Structure 1
Amino acid sequence: MTYSSQPALNTYQKSEGPVGIGGWLILPILHLCGAIILTLHNLYGIVSEWTGIKAIIEGGNDKLVALRLPLAISSILGIAVLILACICLHRLFARSPTVPRLMTFFYMGMVVATLGDVAADNMMSSIVGSSTDPDNFLDVLRVVIAAAIWIPYFHRSRRVANTFRAREAAVDRKIGEVF
């Protein structure tokens, strides 16, 4: 209990370091925007080649039936990346405390989606009898490096902690004072 002559105990301490969406945090935001644009461009291929996709879905011969699985893998993973990137962008700008975990899930999902696309490409190439995309290795390497950089950033950065965990940090301090 405090009296009017005593100053109130300040349970909220101003966080040290940078706060807000800026600095290096701009790069993951640009990556999310790029992922959305690239995925929409890739999914547009389904719409623009609808007669071929329709033939695969109907399955006129054994090759077309065999192409269903790689098409489904690629389409489902593309839609999942699109939805997850949109959710991440929304949570980033809403400054949700779930951002570090959500971005970790996004980067791990990007690794899985890229590996799934490489597997789908290999399946399609073996069915059709063509060569695989030569950029597959670089695509996998690119997302693994991005995950290796940005996952620790979202868990160790002072800017991320000050921007997305400020409310939880204040609550943690209050709980710590009680005990």
Structure 2
Amino acid sequence: MCKMGTLIPGDKRMEIIPNKPSGLGGWMILVQIGLYLSIFRLIALIFNYVIPSFKPEIWDALTLPDSPAYDSMWKPSLIFESVANVVFVLFSIFLLVLLYQKKSTFPRWAIFYYVTNLLVLIVDYVLMANIEVLQTLDEGNSTQDIGRLVVSCAIWIPYFIRSKRVHNTFIH
């Protein structure tokens, strides 16, 4: 006979260890808040900056070679940033679905989300740093954003790997 909280040899299901934290409370509340804030922030960014940059007058001013604001990096940078923002809105929604369904794949996807977000932010920074007019306007916000994301990765990736709450919650 098997006691609750122990694993049956050969059984691939993981069981919750009794008297240990589980569920979406504790630090998982911050993960949820962060995902919702990311969705709202990215949607605001898309509507306030991305969509307007594709209006013909702005797009042409930035991407036509005879324009004074032209730089060959504007087109790839704007397209990359637009696609990345839309993908991360969808990715955040996908993570929330996995989170609330308590899927065992959530921690791996969340780690992938944080790492990919950091890599995309670095690529975006490099693209934007190669636009001459932006070099004079950069106020260090991009490097601060990268620094914040590095700190987030340093906190949340180990949390998803080592947390008993995460282990006990995402078992299905």
Q: Scaled by the length of structure 1, what TM-score is found?
A: 0.77
Return the offset for 1:152.
Answer: 0.8
Query: Residue 10 in 1 paired to residue 10 in 2?
Result: no
The aligned amino acid for 1:117 is D
Count of residues in Structure 1 that have an aligned counterpart in Structure 2 = 157
Counterpart residue number, 1:3: none
Counterparts of 2:95 and 2:157, CA distance in 1: 14
Q: Judge conservation of contact 1:104–1:154 (CA < 8 Å) in 2.
A: yes
Query: Residue 152 in 1 paired to residue 158 in 2?
Result: yes
The aligned amino acid for 2:66 is N
Unaligned runs of 5+ in 2: 6-15
Identity %: 24
Counterparts of 1:82 and 1:102, CA distance in 2: 14
Query: Residue 137 in 1 paired to residue 139 in 2?
Result: no
Q: Judge conservation of contact 1:56–1:64 (CA < 8 Å) in 2.
A: no
Counterparts of 1:113 and 1:128, CA distance in 2: 18
Change (3 A) 1:112 1:52: farther
Unaligned runs of 5+ in 1: 1-8, 168-179
Counterpart residue number, 1:90: 97
Please point out which of 100, 107, 113 is paired with 1:106.
Answer: 113
Return the offset for 1:102.
Answer: 0.4
Counterparts of 2:86 and 2:65, CA distance in 1: 26
Please point out which of 158, 161, 166 is paired with 2:167.
Answer: 161
Return the offset for 1:130.
Answer: 3.4
Counterpart residue number, 1:55: 60
Counterparts of 1:32 and 1:154, CA distance in 2: 15
Cα-to-partner distance string for 1:122-150 (whole Å, 9 max, x where unaligned): 123x1566322421221111000101110
Higher helix share: 1
Which has the larger displacement, 126-135 or 28-37?
A: 126-135
Return the offset for 1:65.
Answer: 4.8
Change (3 A) 1:54 1:145: same
Counterparts of 1:149 and 1:115, CA distance in 2: 19
Return the offset for 1:120.
Answer: 2.8
Counterparts of 2:156 and 2:83, CA distance in 1: 24
SS of residue paired to 2:22 = coil
Return the offset for 1:64.
Answer: 5.5
Query: Residue 22 in 1 paired to residue 25 in 2?
Result: yes
